[in-house]
Amino acid sequence: MIRNRKLFYLGLALMGMGALSRHGAAVDSALGWEGSLFAALPAYRYWVVVAALCIVGSLFALRRRSKGSESGEEPLNPEAPFVKESFGQITEKIVAMADQMRPNIPLIVDYTIFQAIAAGASDIHFDPAREGFAVRFRIDGMMSDIATIPARLTGLITNRLKVLSNLVVYQGFLPQDGRLDKKAREEEQRSSSSAGGSDFRIAFMPTLHGERIVIRILGRTDVGLDFAELGMDEAQQQKMTELIAQPQGMIVLTGPTGSGKTTTIYAALRAVQAQTQSVRAISTLEDPIEYEIAGINQSQVDEKKDFTFDKGLRAILRQDPDVIMVGEIRDTETARIAIQSGMTGHLIITTVHANSSAATFSRLIEMGVAPFALNSAATAVISQRLVRRVCAVCRVGHPVTVEEIDQLQIEANPGDFQVYEGGGCETCGQTGLHGRHALFEILEVSEPIRQLISTGANADAIYGKAKELGMLSLYESAIDAVKRGVTTPDEVARVVVRDRG
């Protein structure tokens, strides 16, 4: 396309010069060049001028190209394996590759994906703006600016990612989504690191300045955590062990998107396997399959092919598994089938989007679940959040201050316990925080809670009763994490809402 445009403009220029050479006298008269030395030259003088300009332009381009190669080699050797680098190095190399006269678009894309995986990012964002693509990584739930790719390359980057995702390249006016695991896996293998085994979900969204692209990185084989490693205290671990040992019922996890619900579910499934020596048949229905676990029958819904959660759940029930994981209850039909399954000899582990553990019951009733059925099936609701951990390499402690006590809104005296913060190092990217820690609130559905649900009690009443029965709230879990040096008061204030009352 660009080459044809250049030929078109060149043709126009040649036609113009031809016309000027035939009517040179009239042009000289119009420009006031009569009697000048230029007018005394032969009729083909305009062709000479054009040839001279072309030669000067070619020499300038060659000089620019040779200057680029003399000032430094290629920013990145396309044949060499990638290695993990600091954010500063990543920025420099992406900018340098983008500034090349002929940028290697596949190399830019592959390098960006690899460095995101190596940095532990969960998402890669290409945010379009007037000046180009802002490349950002989401690490530990927070966005980090990496580099800006010039606007002249945004279309090429977009097309490259669409080709890797088997999507329609020319369709930029409608949202599209897909996955690009094959090529990205190949690029991961170029390094000796353990970044392999990832799957990539990609989504394109039309915006004012172009298509916004988000790549979600799923570590499909990275699920070796147990309850303790997730962040549960001993009492919570014991409670979870008891809940998953029950032969039937429904365990519901709730929390905002990105709060680690899926990871907790997988940890629960692995714990079920360990408890029963794999004698319980386990099936899952997910969107997408984020982790692969040996010995578990995993299925992925596909609404484009009319394979939905409710239809998949019906099909799974015909095979009579002991434990069923439903990725998310989104609609009335799925909720009804899941509740019924929990009442008829199956252990259901699922997620629901609700503001709190106590509000989950109201949310399910709003979906059309009868309160008596919810009473019979539900065994526990687990609410969770993720806070960033203090970096273990650069952390330093100090006695808690009056300001921090006020920020945490707790009863304590200055110096009662140590508060830890990170000083900033290469491991944490100078943020002082590295990795994440889960906070849990486990609301067990005991008989007093069932009575409140059956009478239509609101979330505050259910929460208050659960607290009376000894439930550790999310906020109390967060305060405990601060006292143990796991996270900071700022993180608690950012993530967790203070207890009611």
Comparing C-alpha atoms, which of 380, 383, 340 is closest to residue 251? 380
Query: What tens digit of pLDDT does each residue of 83-118 get?
Result: 888 888 999 999 999 998 889 999 999 999 999 999
Listed in order, the ranges of the chain carrying CATH 3.30.450.90 are 87-219
CA distance 47 to 27: 14
Residue 462 burial (CB < 10 Å; 0-12/13-18/19+)?
buried
pLDDT given at position 195: 44
Comparing C-alpha atoms, which of 256, 257, 447 is closest to residue 359? 256
Which residue bears the tokens 């539900």?
Answer: 378
pLDDT given at position 158: 95
Contacts of 299 (CB under 8 A, 6+ apart): 283, 284, 285, 286, 312, 316
User: What class, spelled out in words, does domain 227-495 have in CATH?
Assistant: alpha beta
pLDDT given at position 25: 57
Contacts of 364 (CB under 8 A, 6+ apart): 252, 329, 335, 339, 352, 374
pLDDT given at position 258: 86
Low-confidence stretches of the chain (pLDDT < 70) are 1-79, 181-197, 219-224, 500-501
Listed in order, the ranges of the chain carrying CATH 3.40.50.300 are 227-495
pLDDT given at position 3: 44
**What does 48-84 look like in DSSP terms, one character per residue?**
HHHHHHHHHHHHHHHHHHHHHHHS-S-SS-TTSPP--
Q: Which CATH code, of 3.90.1150.10, 3.30.450.90, 3.40.80.10, 2.70.98.10, is assigned to 87-219?
A: 3.30.450.90
Give the bridge partners for 206, in sequence order: 211
Task: Supply 95's token pair.
Answer: 């900018």
Neighbours of 453 (CB within 10 A): 19
pLDDT given at position 288: 82
pLDDT given at position 60: 57
